[in-house]
Structure 1
Amino acid sequence: MTEFSEIFLLFGSQVHTFRGPHWCEYCANFMWGLIAQGVRCSDCGLNVHKQCSKHVPNDCQPDLKRIKKVYCCDLTTLVKAHNTQRPMVVDICIREIEARGLKSEGLYRVSGFTEHIEDVKMAFDRDGEKADISANIYPDINIITGALKLYFRDLPIPVITYDTYSKFIEAAKIANADERLEAVHEVLMLLPPAHYETLRYLMIHLKKVTMNEKDNFMNAENLGIVFGPTLMRSPEDSTLTTLHDMRYQKLIVQILIENEDVLF
């Protein structure tokens, strides 16, 4: 393993070019050079020499002041910074949807106005947990469901991570239902804690949505179609792969919803 790859494994940050004089926050010595003098942690802001990065623990606590937004922020980073189990945007949106939208026809399938969804996104980025998404401001519940789906789509690493994607797809291809369920459960255990907890909470919610199917016409299969590509994306940037995997993405979400009580 090269020293360069060790930097990223042990520190989880990026080589950085500092403008102006900088000192290493590990050894307290000056960082020499004009470009790429050291490494900066994007979560906590620690600045160190490349060689010092090998000695710095990679379990830093993200500095909330450095978290400029809610959307497009790494899920684990956001959860650590706010010291919560799940991203607060997930909790707030689901709470609002369950309070007034479970019987809404086509819930999650029907789209809200894009500009209003963007307004909700900006409200969370600006106000955090104080964002007002009540019926007084957004009477159409489809705006809130749209904002929640957008949050998941904007994640730099999907809820079902790139590392586990192929394992989930292979599990979905297993013909025997019991073996398939066991394989899905095994892959679930590989998810990072924040991703696992977010997925668990979402599946409990989507199960409630299916319990109102006679009103909203949304069963687990329909929700799988909606949430498959929203929660899992292939690490390969290939249209052909995406099209080929769509039915398995749908099936995975359907299995998670129908079996949330035994899988989580």
Structure 2
Amino acid sequence: MENLKNIWKPELYRIQVEAPAPKRVICENCPDRPEFYGKEYHGVMGHKEATLLLEGEPNGAFLIRKGNEYNDFYTLTWRFDDKIHHYKLYYDGTHYIKDKRYDTIYDLVADGLITCHMELKAHHILEMINSRASYTESPYVTLNRRKLNTLTKMQQSSNKSSPIISKTEHRTEEAVSKIDLPSPDENPLLTMKYSKPHNFKVHTFKGLNWCELCANFLWGFTAQGVKCEDCGFIAHSKCSERVPNHCVPDLKKLRGVFGIDLTTLLNAHSSTLPFVVKKCVTEIEARGMDSEGIYRVSGFADEIEALKMAFDRDGEAADLSVYSNINVVAGALKLYLRLLPVPLITYEVHPKLVQAIQMKTTVVQVSMLRECLDLLPPAHFNCLQYMVQHLHRVSQHASENKMSAHNLSTVFAPTLVATPPAISDLAAEIRALQTLIEHCALIYHQQH
């Protein structure tokens, strides 16, 4: 399972978070304001006057103007990278830039600022994405290898009863063999008889999503990438050009719940907690609290993978009682949490968490940890609270299970806390999580 540990790449997500936020520069009295602009519209104004208005404003400040009374278009003027920029605007019922459409001018500016910020700060990553993405090492193949193997065996079984192969099938196999990919043993999709191109369409994703080819974040607020309407494969537009013709529509139902952003998943399921977490915690508390080394002792990898498939296939109906080894259930829970693209304690909160645990007294640490938790997205806050309170209950059985708060923190810190790749010593993160577990009643007291 270790090869799945760092499957998602967070760098672009962290860079997007640092992008400047839009700030409207308001004009209260403007009699000829178009109906599709608000108080950010300043009427007829030259670029020099607009530049002066934005000089003292932060990056992200913007206004809308008409360059002169004869123009049949409007101009966006904004401050970015400590410079003033001017852009022609387009509106035909919705605001748009090329194939991206926006309900409001604020949305357009927010997305534009992120795009410019990415081009400025992440150009080296974007260039790497365009040249190095490998399908066989992609999250899609990695996460779904077992499912694809199962699908392949089903197809091979079906082929035995139907030995006649059409000319089209022969051509397809020949085309597949020309793709520069590993052997069928390494890439189960290659053993499939039919080659079908993906039905990619430009898509606006809700919540946070990652490209299933290159594993990098889909940045921006609208039209962040493409999605196959037949199998659900998600990718950057550029990455989609390098995805082989291996669309299997049945996989739409098999994409499951592992490796999906927490907020996105919970919104899709109209839930406050992921059912994987609830079911595993319930099972562990029912029959694993006195199991020596719970969460530290590994379950069998094949059984953990089978349980993962059961969750993906059966959802909340997955039967955990068939796994007599409770370490398999614990392993599946850890795997789910490890595969979250953004860990429960997010990249933004991580430095504040480290700062809090470096305070000299427990009272101050607890107070600052409370403030850290308030900065988490609601989905992360609720799930972390559920897990911390569970781990506290597990630690109360340490005389039997040998898993103290410190031992549990050592196991879970790499999974629950988002840390930059350069950090290898997790001593501060372990101490912070240990404090959360030991003082959870006090820390979550008066929390919403």
TM-score category of the 2 structures, normalised to the smaller one: 0.7 to 0.9
Name the larger-Rg structure. 2
**Cα separation, 2, equivalents of 1:172 and 1:151:** 27
Q: Is the 8 A contact 1:67 1:78 kept in 2?
A: no
Relative to structure 1, the CA distance from residue 132 to residue 5 in structure 2 (aligned partners, 3 Å threshold; closer, same or farther) is farther
Aligned position for 1:115: 302
Of residues 410, 421, 427, the one that matches 1:247 is 427
Please report the TM-score for the alignment, with normalisation by the length of structure 1: 0.75
Relative to structure 1, the CA distance from residue 41 to residue 66 in structure 2 (aligned partners, 3 Å threshold; closer, same or farther) is farther
Q: After superposition, what is the alpha-carbon deviation per residue over 1:91-117, rounded to whole angstroms, capped at 9, x for unaligned?
A: 000000011110000111111011111
- Relative to total residues, which structure has the larger helix share, 1 or 2? 1
Pair 1:139-2:243 in alignment: no
Q: After superposition, what is the alpha-carbon deviation per residue over 1:214-263, rounded to whole angstroms, capped at 9, x for unaligned?
A: 110111011010111110121x322xx1x23x111111111111111111
Q: Output aligned runs, 1:181-192, within 5 Å.
A: 181-192=366-377
Gaps of 5+ in 1: 11-37, 45-51, 55-64
Please report the TM-score for the alignment, with normalisation by the length of structure 2: 0.45
Q: Is the 8 A contact 2:254 2:313 kept in 1?
A: no
- Aligned-pair CA distance for 1:41: 2.1
- Aligned-pair CA distance for 1:72: 0.2
Of residues 157, 162, 171, the one that matches 2:347 is 162
Q: Is the 8 A contact 2:405 2:438 kept in 1?
A: yes
Q: Output aligned runs, 1:118-129, within 5 Å.
A: 118-129=305-316
Aligned position for 1:48: none
Structure 1 residue runs of 4 or more that deviate by more than 3 Å after TM superposition: 1-5, 65-68
Relative to structure 1, the CA distance from residue 192 to residue 247 in structure 2 (aligned partners, 3 Å threshold; closer, same or farther) is same
Pair 1:257-2:417 in alignment: no
- Relative to total residues, which structure has the larger strand share, 1 or 2? 2
- Aligned-pair CA distance for 1:8: 7.3
Using CA pairs under 8 Å that are at least 6 residues apart, name the structure with larger relative contact order, 1 or 2.
Answer: 1
- Aligned-pair CA distance for 1:68: 3.3
Root-mean-square deviation (CA, aligned residues, Å) is 2.7
Pair 1:40-2:203 in alignment: yes
Pair 1:208-2:389 in alignment: no
Gaps of 5+ in 2: 1-59, 61-79, 81-106, 115-200, 208-220, 224-251
Q: Is the 8 A contact 1:43 1:66 kept in 2?
A: no
Aligned position for 1:15: none
**Cα separation, 2, equivalents of 1:233 and 1:7:** 25
- Percent identity at matched positions? 42
**Cα separation, 1, equivalents of 2:387 and 2:352:** 20
Aligned residue for 1:174, secondary structure, equals coil
**Cα separation, 2, equivalents of 1:212 and 1:249:** 23
Aligned position for 1:78: 265
